[in-house]
Structure 1
Amino acid sequence: MKLSEILTLDCTLCAIKTTSKKRILEEICQLAANKVTELDQDELLDSLLDREKMGSTGIGNGIAIPHGRLPNSSKAVAVLVTTENAIDFDAIDNRSVDVFISLFVPEDSCQEHLNTLQSIAKLFSDKKVIKNVRKCTSNQELFDVIQQAS
């Protein structure tokens, strides 16, 4: 599944002000909670934090793909957030992160989850895409860049 198929404008935030890993994950979960009716914001956050305990989802070059599994859910949800200033996220290259693509998938959709993560990583390995993402100044512009790039 491609990011453009599961990302919606109301789950896209551009250049927000935040200062910590926990706070950005809370922001992501607040957006996702509007789409995932089976779980509340705290349960979504627990799912991301459980995954982060296994190792940071900061993949390098200022990008992180925090993700979690959703029990009792049938649809995948994506959230895209960029921050005004990069924050420490324990990324594999020790660089701060300013682009967060978060994914929540049904617990029983393991292969779909892996395919979607691979698709997101490939999309954001394109230097032109990431440059355009970082230039965005509005939620709509950020959403449109992803829709065009996918």
Structure 2
Amino acid sequence: MKLQDILTPDCTICAVPAASKKRILEFLSSLAAEKLVNHDTFQLLESLVKRERMGSTGIGNGIAIPHGRLINATKPIAVLITTEQAINFDAIDHRPVDIFIALFVPEEECQNHLCTLQSIATIFRDKQFCKQVRQCKSNHELFQLIQQAS
């Protein structure tokens, strides 16, 4: 599954004020909770924190893909945000992060989960594309850029 298939305009936010890794994870979880009927912010946050304990999802070049598996979820959901300032996220390259793509997937869809993560990593491997993402001035502009990504 591609990022474009599971990202919605209301889960695409530009220039979020960011103070810490914890606050970003909370923000991502609260946005996703509005879309997932059977899960609240706390459950979503717990799924992200559980995964972060295994190792940071900061993949380098200012990008992080926090993700979690959810019991009783019926569909995957993605949340994409950029932050006003890059924050420390314990990324593998030790650089701060300002692009966050959160992914929440049903627990039993492991193969889909891996395919979606690979799709996201492929899109954001392109440094020119990341530069365009960072230059977006509105939520709509950011969403449209993602929809046009190959």
| TM-score bracket relative to the smaller structure | over 0.9
State the Cα distance separating 1:128 from its structure 2 match: 2.0
Query: TM (normalized to structure 2)?
Result: 0.99
**Which amino acid in structure 1 is aligned with residue 134 of structure 2?**
R
Structure 1 spans left out of the alignment, 5+ residues: none
The residue that corresponds to 1:46 in the other structure is 46
The residue that corresponds to 1:35 in the other structure is 35
State the Cα distance separating 1:34 from its structure 2 match: 0.8
CA distance in 1, matches of 2:132, 2:149: 10
The farther-off stretch of 106-115 and 125-134 is: 125-134
Instruction: String of CA shifts for 1:10-31, please: whole Å, max 9, x gaps.
Output: 0011011111000000010110
Query: TM (normalized to structure 1)?
Result: 0.99
CA distance in 1, matches of 2:56, 2:83: 18
**Which amino acid in structure 1 is aligned with residue 101 of structure 2?**
I
Shift >2 Å, 4+ stretches: none
Structure 2 spans left out of the alignment, 5+ residues: none
State the Cα distance separating 1:126 from its structure 2 match: 1.1
Aligned partner of residue 10 in structure 1, secondary structure: strand
State the number of aligned residues.
150
CA RMSD between the two structures: 0.6
Aligned partner of residue 36 in structure 1, secondary structure: coil
Q: Does 1:144 align with 2:144?
A: yes
- In the TM superposition, 1:1-150 aligns within 5 A as 1-150=1-150
